[in-house]
Amino acid sequence: MNADETGKAIRSQGGHPTAERAAEIGAAVIGATMQAFAQDGTDFSMDQVAVLAGVSKQAIYRRWKSKTALLIDSIDGAQVVGLVEPGIDDDDPVSALRSVAWHLMDTDVITSHRVNIFLQAEGLRHEPIQQRLMSWRNRFLELYVRHLNGIERANQRIDGDMAVQAEILMELMLGGLSMLAVTGAVSSEEKLKAFEDRWRLFSLMALKPR
């Protein structure tokens, strides 16, 4: 169910919100925020989010004090979903790392690029935003290192600083996202090709031939 459909369902309900309904409203607002941001970038409004989510603007402001706070929580929710680890496959740890790396590029390219630019600019002015950005980055890096440890145990990793190899992998994927957004290459085939090119380069630097 998309944000608009969820909003219609919420509007059809009456009475005081239960804990379950409050969670539904929160999810609808988060979904509506990402939908509005995808449409209008940072020019989206809280009124727009309220309409898409099917709630009052006052209800949104009771939980989020600003548009930036709402956007950060929305992105954070998306990141948490993406960081649910499938588990390290001891039989094929390289494929497990590849799947995790692909997650960073398997996204709405234009929206992700807009979000990154916006938050990086805001992070220069607001330390809490900068801290949140670092938290997201560190969570991905920790996940990469854990998978590289699995590859190390399987004797498939080239000697080198594991943390540096994780940083290289992240920068390759983020660079691919930026390239896709700038060139407007956003089809599934173009994303996959950009990913494969960068994964091949990472493999040459960090993984033993299979």
Per-residue pLDDT for 10 more than 90? no
d(CA 68, CA 45): 11
Model pLDDT, residue 202: 97
Largest CA distance in the chain: 63
Task: Identify the residue with better confidence: 169 or 116.
Answer: 169
How high is the mean pLDDT of the chain? Answer: 81
pLDDT tens for 17-44 read 677 878 888 889 988 988 888 778 778 8
Each domain of the chain, given as residue ranges in start order, spans 3-66, 83-206
Task: Identify the residue with better confidence: 87 or 167.
Answer: 167
Average pLDDT over residues 36-54: 87
pLDDT tens for 136-159 read 888 889 989 999 999 999 999 998
Q: What is the DSSP secondary-structure string of 139-185?
A: HHHHHHHHHHHHHHHTT-B-SS-HHHHHHHHHHHHHHHHHHHHHHT-
> With respect to CATH, is domain 3-66 assigned 1.10.10?
yes
* Confidence band for 169, pLDDT divided at 50, 70 and 90: very high
d(CA 11, CA 70): 21
Burial of 146 (0-12, 13-18, 19+ CB in 10 A): middle
Task: Identify the residue with better confidence: 11 or 31.
Answer: 31
Average pLDDT over residues 65-83: 71
